[in-house]
């Protein structure tokens, strides 16, 4: 039997540290499912594991793509499963770690399959967006798939501001003739491993304090300079993320630097709340306090054998 130790939880809770501890104990490798850490041009704003952490355990899917590549969750699913198949040939354990719930689900359950969409439909949706803006996509999704629109509004409102994701939802609704949500969770793909889901949690105030401190550290380490280099490409999908968008607004002279930093902290706190909402939906996840002794986690993992 093969086991995928899956570590989830809100940002800044310490998932990277725990994954390395467990990887050392089980002598296995780590597969990242943090969609912000895939991109090699983004380091400070995505809290990529540092050189010591990367040296402590073998990591995969860390800064392995460029922001200029069109990399989807479906692409990630295929590549991650291929990598896990390779790792399981020589080890009974592997570790999946990250805070991107959609990417975790893609590995554990499989990405939903959608019908092919005619290129003319895709072009028409893209053209309408360029003329009318994100409001057009939002109104279309609300009209064509109110169920999914309201799900996003409650659980992941940031997605409603993501043009690439929204265009995909709308083109599927129009091109397939069914709501986007019709194709979600239709069937679960078989996997050759048993997932062991571990959630890390802490008091909300403590999480928020850790987030605030992390943002301060990022700024001290040069996030402003990193964002300035990326600013010419600010419209790329990979850069529509917390920590960069706010600094782009500062570069646009829309807000002050101090306000941008506070917005990063606030938006990261909101993101962490949505992460918990997403991960708490899975009743198979065993939740541990982030300061739990390592022996307790190891005992829980070994109980699956």
Binding residues: 9-16
Distance, in Å, from the CA atom of 124 to the CA atom of 110, rounded to the nearest integer, reads 29
Q: How far is CA 94 from CA 144, 187, 252, in A?
A: 41, 24, 44
Q: Binding site for ATP, residues?
A: 9-16
CB atoms within 10 A of CB 208: 19
59-60 and 194-201 strand pairing: unpaired
Q: Binding site for substrate, residues?
A: 11-16
């Amino acid at each position: 039997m093969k086991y995928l130790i899956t570590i989830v939880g809100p940002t800044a809770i310490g998932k990277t540290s725990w994954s390395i501890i467990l990887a050392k104990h089980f002598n296995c490798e780590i597969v990242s499912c943090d969609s912000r850490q895939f991109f090699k041009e983004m380091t400070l704003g995505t809290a990529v594991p540092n050189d010591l952490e990367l040296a402590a355990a073998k990591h995969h899917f860390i800064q392995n793509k460029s922001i200029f590549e069109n990399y989807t969750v479906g692409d990630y699913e295929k590549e991650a499963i291929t990598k896990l198949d390779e790792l399981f040939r020589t080890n009974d354990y592997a570790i999946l770690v990250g805070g991107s719930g959609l990417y975790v689900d893609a590995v554990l359950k499989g990405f939903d399959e959608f019908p092919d969409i005619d290129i003319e439909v895709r072009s028409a949706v893209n053209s309408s967006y360029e003329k009318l803006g994100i409001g057009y996509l939002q109104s279309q999704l609300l009209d064509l798939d109110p169920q999914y629109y309201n799900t996003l509004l409650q659980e992941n409102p940031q997605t409603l501001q993501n043009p690439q994701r929204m265009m995909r939802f709308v083109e599927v609704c129009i091109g397939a003739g069914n709501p986007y949500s019709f194709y979600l969770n239709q069937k679960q793909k078989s996997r050759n491993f048993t997932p062991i889901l571990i959630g890390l949690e802490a008091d909300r105030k403590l999480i928020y304090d850790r987030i605030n401190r992390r943002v301060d550290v990022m700024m001290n380490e040069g996030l402003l300079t990193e964002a300035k280099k990326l600013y010419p490409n600010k419209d790329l999908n990979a850069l529509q993320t917390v920590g960069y968008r706010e600094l782009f607004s500062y570069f646009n002279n829309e807000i002050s630097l101090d306000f941008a930093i506070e917005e990063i902290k606030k938006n990261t706190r909101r993101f962490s709340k949505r992460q918990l909402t997403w991960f708490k939906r899975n009743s198979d996840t065993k939740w541990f306090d982030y300061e739990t002794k390592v022996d307790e986690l190891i005992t829980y993992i070994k109980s699956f054998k």
